[in-house]
Structure 1
Amino acid sequence: MYIVLVYDIGEKRVGKMLKLCRRYLNWIQNSVFEGEITPVKLKSLLAEAKLIMDEEQDSLILFKSRSEKWLEKEVVGKEKNELDTFL
């Protein structure tokens, strides 16, 4: 599945969440990630995220799609992190 993940995490925990999300997804810009992920890896990511989060104050939002081709993405202005594909 293809997901876009957005989080709003307290300042003391944001570094840990950034490192966690980078292990599973591609960083797009501040607190935004996207990429293909298996259901098992998504479950692991969410379990680890819950250990970092204070669920009373922090939030994590997922937008899910079957694949990237079903999602139209438009960037207005400078794209902060262009994804390069090396073959």
Structure 2
Amino acid sequence: MYIVLMYDIMMDEKGAKVQRNAFKICKRYLTHIQKSVFEGNLSELNLMKLKKELNLYIRDEKDSFIIFKSRDEKWLTKEFLGKKDNKTSNFF
């Protein structure tokens, strides 16, 4: 399945550590396309692994992660406003 994941981490005393760990985990499974946004194809098993690893660091009362799922990337379209970045070339 095709995944777009984004997160917003509160930058308090522990936020930098949470952000570093979240970034490293997401980067192992997905392509980093913009600040806290990642995309890519994942199997259901790898999505479960990704979520399990992230749950070790997510602070439910402070941090927000959103995962958009699609059966296939061909069902998504992309439109650029401003600078076009080739890191999003996985999107059609």
**TM-score normalised according to structure 2 size:** 0.83
State how far apart, in whole Å, the 1-side matches of 2:89 and 2:68 are. Answer: 22
**Could you list the runs of 5+ residues in structure 1 that have no partner in the other structure?**
none
The residue type paired with residue 52 of structure 2 is A
The residue type paired with residue 44 of structure 1 is K
Cα deviations across residues 15-35 of structure 1 (Å, max 9, x unaligned)?
Answer: 110111000000010100011
Aligned to 2:5: 5
Runs of 4+ with deviation above 6 angstroms: none
Question: Residues of 1 paired with 2:41 and 2:49: CA distance?
Answer: 14
Q: Which residue of 2 aligns with 1:82?
A: 87
Where does 1:25-36 land on structure 2 (aligned, <5 Å)?
A: 25-36=30-41
Which residue identity does 1:6 align to in structure 2? Answer: M
Letter in 2 for 1:51: L
Residue 81 (structure 1) shift: 5.1
Q: CA RMSD in A?
A: 1.7
- Give the SS at the match of 2:7: strand
Other-structure match for 1:24: 29
Q: Is the 8 A contact 1:27 1:81 kept in 2?
A: no
C-alpha change, 1:15 and 1:81, in structure 2 (3 Å) is farther
TM-score, length of structure 1 as denominator length: 0.88
Q: What SS class does the counterpart of residue 3 from structure 1 fall into?
A: strand
State, as a whole percentage, how many aligned pairs show the same letter.
48
Letter in 2 for 1:27: H
- Residue aligning to 2:75: 70
